[in-house]
Amino acid sequence: MKRIFLLVYLLINCGVFLSLEAQPKNLSMEDAILGQWRQFYPETLSQLSWRGDLSEYTYVKENKIMLAKPGDDPTVLLSLEELNSGLKENEIESLRRIPRFSWQSANVMEFNLRGALIHYDFVVKKVLLNLNVNSKAENQNFCNASNTVAYTIENNLYIAGKDGQELAVTTDTDKDIVNGQAVSRSEYGISRGIFWSPNGNQLAFYRKDESNVTSFPLVDINTRVGDLREIKYPMAGMGSEVVSLGVYNLHTKKTSWIKSNDFGSDQYLTNISWGADNKYIYIQVLNRASNHAKLNKYEAETGKFVTTLFEEKDDRWVEPSHKLVFLKNKPNLFIYQTNNRHGFNHAYLYNTEGKLIKQLTSGDWEITEILGFDKDEKYMFYVSTEVSPIDRHAYKLNLKTGKRYRLTNDEGYHSVQVSADGKYILDNYSSLKVPRIINVADTRGKFVKELVKAEDKLKDYNLGEISLGTIKSADGVTDLHYRMVKPADFDPNKKYPVVVYVYGGPHAQLVTNRYLGGSRLWEQYMAQSGYLLYILDNRGSANRGKEFEAVIHRQCGQPEMDDQMKGVEFLKSLPYVDADKIGVHGWSYGGFMTISLITNYPDVFKVAVAGGPVIDWKWYEAMYGERYMDTPDENPEGYAKTSLIAKAKDLKGKLLICQGAIDPTVLWQHSLNFIRECIKNNVQVDYFPYPRAEHNVRGRDRIHLKQKVSNYFDDYLK
């Protein structure tokens, strides 16, 4: 008996005897889909920001607003109890938690409370503004200068001030006329439809006339007999919306209309910018062909055209995507961004007469964000891809000398906030194996204090190894970045099935040097199941310059497939890849790529799952489709070559298509026509609609979607 006890003792202390608790855990599908944003989300500081124009930062912790100066320990600035006490004194109901807020000034918080916009001065414990907004209001845009909020109700525009009176700016009864909303299907940098002048005395707004736009029916199955909801959808080569810009004067109660007719009614009015003097509005006017843009200047009061500051042209496309950034101390100067001059998105300094003062940045890399300026506007702060296309780093640029300084030195993907005086930054970053680090540093490059170093909440889970690398594109020259997730419990002597996840289209980048390589935990769920995941950013994707992206012009999907096949060639060279078991999965443009790959390379891809796929670009929206493909009449060969209707007969492997039944982006028409063509050719295909989903399947429904995707690969690829 003593010998038995001794043996057990030795086994335990030598680590041979393992408890069940020491075994690595597996992710459930719920873990993989919802857990990424819940229990596995890396530690952070909630609502971290600079406090107004002070070099002090705040964040929310345990229902307290914490405050610190760079280098100091945090103290409590305001507790929930203190906030509620102040609200009660102003006859406002209590809050259950610190709300989402922003700093109006160093002492004044702005937040929404039960439909009201609140400005609260926590020092004097007084509500400075309690603006009740119509419960039907959408697209709210508050103006600090006038303490007035503009918003839309259905198709009309309204404003309301401190007195609570609602004033209708527009009163259109024709449902084809839409005021105050984003236009052009939010392409070309357009994200909203309401634009306050700096002094708050005038309000510019979009008006679109959709009379010439065809309607598409969406069916709401929630009612007993089904309700029909029609949406306006301008398809490539067909009638489109007519956009104009109105300017409402709050004093005269009159609206002037900007007189813009550079390219007739078929034109885009993009990136509306108010001049710092409140007198002029600047619009980047783009023709419908998207190959000729003008930066125009207009009188706000009369709508009169003043001058064209400069023009940009390109045989492929011009893509104005950034508002002008005016300097406060020199309001006759502004910063303009474009990738059309030197092949990469860079910043240029102009005056308001259209004279180029200087090119501020240059090189084979892109500015991805302008962060702001120091108080004297001696320096501009920005984020770029200069270190690597998969990294992001912050810099400060001397506007006079052109000398720039790198502010973030640790490898990875940095998100940065600059203090109002330009002396400090809050640096929030991650990298492949670093979940999150948040530091305070000064803008001379000196580290000040570490605020967060997040632990890896997945350290006890059975994960596949993630690696980042490059291969050459089909042109033999360009480096393409990939992410590979090896199967959990990887054995180099085994062969594994592969799932290629693809997007491939413009304005998207899947591979970044962020935590987990920018991946979703579903990839790790699949790795647990014995798959190798491979993700490649082909030519045509984002943040690599104009030429990298414009290779797709008039032939969407073709060079992208060439590059993806180079990825497959690389995969087949790996001894642990089962070349007979390669599948592909993607959504939206990625759904288009998925079906393109399995039909063009039926002997390579055995299984595919496509979500919300574009099938034929003639059924897609004009603003996107015509930019990259021109119109069907101008490019019949390109439309024919890229259409997947004719490819349905070539399908050999197993294909599952998932589709949101009320998708307003890629209409149901696409996938249903592909199914119809499969039926005509007696080609078997699997199909699963999500009745209440739009373009993406969200929430708990997504658990069902990703389980269906996973099961499909388990059934037919393993």
| DSSP states along 608-634 | EEEES----GGGSBHHHHHHHH--TTT
CB 109 within 8 A of CB 47: no
- Specify whether the CB–CB gap between 285 and 292 falls below 8 A: no
In whole angstroms, how far apart are CA 717 and each of 39, 250, 530, 578, 709?
31, 64, 11, 10, 12
Laid out side by side, the sheet with 479-485 consists of 466-472, 479-485, 532-536, 496-501, 577-587, 605-611, 654-660, 686-690
User: Catalytic annotation on 256?
Assistant: no
Conformation bin of residue 184: beta by default, left when phi > 0, alpha when psi is -120 to 50: left
374 is catalytic: no
Catalytic residue, chosen from 342, 507, 695, 704, is 695
Are residues 260 and 243 in contact, defined by beta-carbon separation less than 8 angstroms?
A: no
Task: Give per-residue burial for 347-384: e unless 16+ CB within 10 Å, then b.
Answer: bbbbebeeeeeeebbeeebbbeebbbbbeeeebbbbbb
Question: How far is Cα 417 from Cα 24, in angstroms, rounded to an integer?
Answer: 38
Q: How far is residue 555's CA from residue 558's CA, in Å, rounded to a whole number? A: 6
Orientation angle between helical segments 558-572 and 589-600, nearest 10 degrees: 70
Is residue 115 packed enough to be buried (19+ CB in 10 Å), middle (13-18) or exposed (0-12)?
A: exposed
What are 263's two structure tokens?
């390219």
Instruction: Yes or no: say if 522 and 611 are a contact pair by the CB < 8 Å rule.
Output: no
- As beta bridge partners, residue 428 has 415, 438
Which residue in 389, 717, 432 sits closest to 585, CA to CA?
717
Choosing from 663, 670, 671, 710, the catalytic residue is 663
Residues 694/664, Cβ–Cβ less than 8 Å: yes
* CA atoms of 25 and 134, how far apart (whole Å): 50
Q: What are phi and psi of 310, to 5 degrees?
A: -170, 170
Close Cβ partners of 7 (under 8 Å, ≥ 6 residues apart): none
SS3 assignment, position 56: coil
Distance of CA 594 to the CA centre of its chain: 22
Query: How many angstroms separate the CA atoms of 712 and 499, rounded?
Result: 12
d(CA 329, CA 112): 32
User: 430 near 455, Cβ under 8 Å?
Assistant: no
Distances (CA, A) of 655 to 105, 557, 598, 629, 658: 56, 18, 8, 26, 10
Contact 418, 411 (CB under 8 A): no
Nearest CA to 35 out of 563, 522, 496, 511 is that of: 522
C-alpha 590/C-alpha 592 separation (Å) is: 5
Q: Judge whether 262 counts as a catalytic residue.
A: no
Cβ atoms of 221 and 691 within 8 Å: the answer is yes
Instruction: Tell me 392's DSSP state.
Output: B
Hey, which residues are catalytic here?
Answer: 588, 663, 695
